[in-house]
Amino acid sequence: MSNLIRNHAVVDDDWTVATLPAITEAVRKQAGKVVIFKLTGEQSAMPEQIAATVIPAGKVIVPFPVWLARKNELAPRLAAGELGVWLESFELVEDLVASVDDINAFPVIAVNFPRFADGRGFSIAALLRTRYGYRNELRAIGDVLRDQLYYMHRCGFDAYAIRADRSVEEALASLRDFTDPYQGAVDNPLPVWRRHARHAHASRASEAVVSMMDDAD
């Protein structure tokens, strides 16, 4: 079974995610503790990794540094609608937006969650949807687990590549965990008190119209 959820349904994945070749990285420490997250804006790939990245035929989602460095090679595939891009959680969404004339030229943008505890991808999604007006598929990849999906949806994701060792059906069910969220978010900017106040106002207006019609009779 596919592990991809798109628009609240399990679907076959017609995109291949290209990855950078692995390298050995030195263990970094700060104040005696191992640093497990890269800093926002940090360099994400070495030139030799970018050059060695294999980009298969067909629809492919490439790492952002590969898109930047090999744009001339990849531009025809973007124009054909068969090239997406994926961001690491520490890469800057502003840099992605600046790399293309229209951010909606990308049919798919994916955001990698390297670890369940790294929440920067939520902010990337919200920025793409609100500040930069991205309208196409926004996909979560990496350490994507059931408990995240509802909140990912609220931040603007509409596709989720569930971690291979987890149940995609259970993850799909999690999108129905809550029916009436309190806060406003990307999926609905009105907080619950504004939504209910609006409904109450509409109901009172309807009752007033009915009353006026009864009086006229």
Collect all residues with Cβ–Cβ distance below 8 Å to 194 and sequence separation of at least 6: 184
The answer to which of 36-40, 140-144, 145-149 has the lowest mean pLDDT is 36-40
Structure tokens at 91: 């890469």
The answer to which of 47-56, 127-136, 159-168, 180-189 has the lowest mean pLDDT is 180-189
pLDDT for residue 95: 96
DSSP states along 107-168:
SEEEEEESSTT--HHHHHHHHHHHTS---SEEEEEES--HHHHHHHHHHT--EEE--TTS-H
pLDDT at 209 over 50: no
pLDDT band at 194 (very low <50, low <70, confident <90, very high): low
pLDDT for residue 215: 56
Q: pLDDT tens digits, residue range 15-28?
A: 999 999 987 665 66
* Residue linked to tokens 């670890």: 115
pLDDT at 50 over 90: yes
How many whole angstroms separate alpha carbon 85 and alpha carbon 101?
Answer: 15
Contact 179/149 with Cβ under 8 angstroms?
no
Cβ count near 68 (within 10 Å) = 17
Q: Is the pTM value of this prediction over 0.85? A: no
